[in-house]
Structure 1
Amino acid sequence: MATTAESQVRAPGRLRAAASALIAPLAKFGVVGAVAYVVDVGLFNLLSYVGSPPLLEGQPLAAKIASAGLATVVAWLGNRYWTFRHQRRPDRAREFALYLVMCMIGLLISLSCLWVSHYVLGFTSPLADNISANVIGLAAGTAFRFWAYRRFVFTHQIA
């Protein structure tokens, strides 16, 4: 039986090991997320504000759904083949379906922020739409997705 002093010495070591095991996938997740973020924000703004008239002018929710759809595919590829490459499922279709479900929940979190800001609070400027959808909503959705991917999607250990 370990003494209290021995337990206290082992606890920081276990904590450090757990933290270091989380840092690498979190950093990779961040890089993949940054690439997907550029795709998401770029396409959102292109559809919403570029052109005369813009393709989805006055339709920020539709623009966000389209941009998030493409960003989802980019992120899945990056996470499957890089971030969680040792934990991906053998059945790609099932994994992608689970990934999409978690992404849809993350998208609903982001859309909720945009909807409240744009339609409830009346903040309709491009800056307000971007802050609510692509800063606040994306941060909340990203936190959920990282947890959900590790918990439900990328759960298979490759030998």
Structure 2
Amino acid sequence: MRLTDRTLNRLPKPVAEALRKNRETVKFIIVGGFCYVVSLVANYALRLTVFESKPVTALTIANVIATVVSYFLNREWSFRTRGGRRRHHEMLLYTVANGIGVAVNSAPLWIAQYVFGLHYPNISHAVEEISDFVFGMIIGVALAMVFRLWAYRVWVFPHDDVRPAPKRYEVPPQPAPADSTGG
């Protein structure tokens, strides 16, 4: 039995059924959570080193890194039965959708920095960090996630059940123990 099924079997039945019904979306969210951590780490690694004064650039590069990781995880896990396009066409559409996704993700931070002026010296360094996190890593990520889920289903992996899903292995029932009394 796969890890996903073992995990779902431990949940209350209504919750497990709802998650199984929306399995693709749940997997997309799990991949997104992992890639969120990738982008968070990359963003702050860049912001604290080479792009200290360029938070939008750091966030954009971090999102590009997370997008590459996301493609492989989504292609082979979240949307593994979907497709319908040649691999190079699919990758091109994925790149375009994620280019738009990176712009959607970066837009709230850009607006905060350059329209609202939420940067030093207009505000303190601490408030700037909080603002950058909220606009870039929360609002931007949420907007981009909704856009990407829609774009993947409609453009990138448009047809369901075109690639075979791996077979599910059921645990065979265990035979009852033999009566040791001989009788």
Q: TM-score if structure 2 supplies the norm length? A: 0.70
CA distance in 1, matches of 2:129, 2:76: 34
- Structure 2 equivalent of residue 46 of structure 1: 45
TM-superposition CA deviations, 1:17-62 (whole Å, max 9, x none): xx7775101100000001110011110011002xxxx211111121
CA distance in 2, matches of 1:154, 1:83: 10
The alignment's C-alpha RMSD in Å is 1.7
Report the TM-score when normalising by structure 1. Answer: 0.80
Cα pair 2:64 2:102 within 8 Å, conserved? no
Letter of the 2:143 counterpart: A
| Equivalent residue runs for 1:60-71 within 5 Å | 60-71=55-66
Structure 1 equivalent of residue 175 of structure 2? none
Percent identity, please: 34
CA shift at 1:90, angstroms? 5.4
Q: How many residues align?
A: 137
- Counterpart CA distance in 2 for 1:89 and 1:41 is 32
Using CA pairs under 8 Å that are at least 6 residues apart, name the structure with larger relative contact order, 1 or 2: 2
- When residues 32 and 143 of structure 1 are mapped into structure 2, their CA distance, relative to the original with a 3 A threshold, is same
Letter of the structure 1 residue corresponding to residue 37 of structure 2: V
In the TM superposition, what whole-angstrom CA distance separates every residue of 1:53-86 from its partner, at most 9, and x where no partner exists? x211111121112101110011111100000000
Correspondences of 1:132-143 after superposition (within 5 Å): 132-143=135-146
CA–CA distance in structure 1, aligned partners of residues 135 and 59 of structure 2: 11
Bigger radius of gyration: 2
Residues 1:112 and 2:107 are matched in the alignment: yes
Matched residue type, 1:66: I
Query: Which protein is richer in helix relative to its size?
Result: 1
Q: Which moved more, 1:125-134 or 1:37-46?
A: 125-134
- 2 CA distance for matches of 1:78 and 1:130? 25
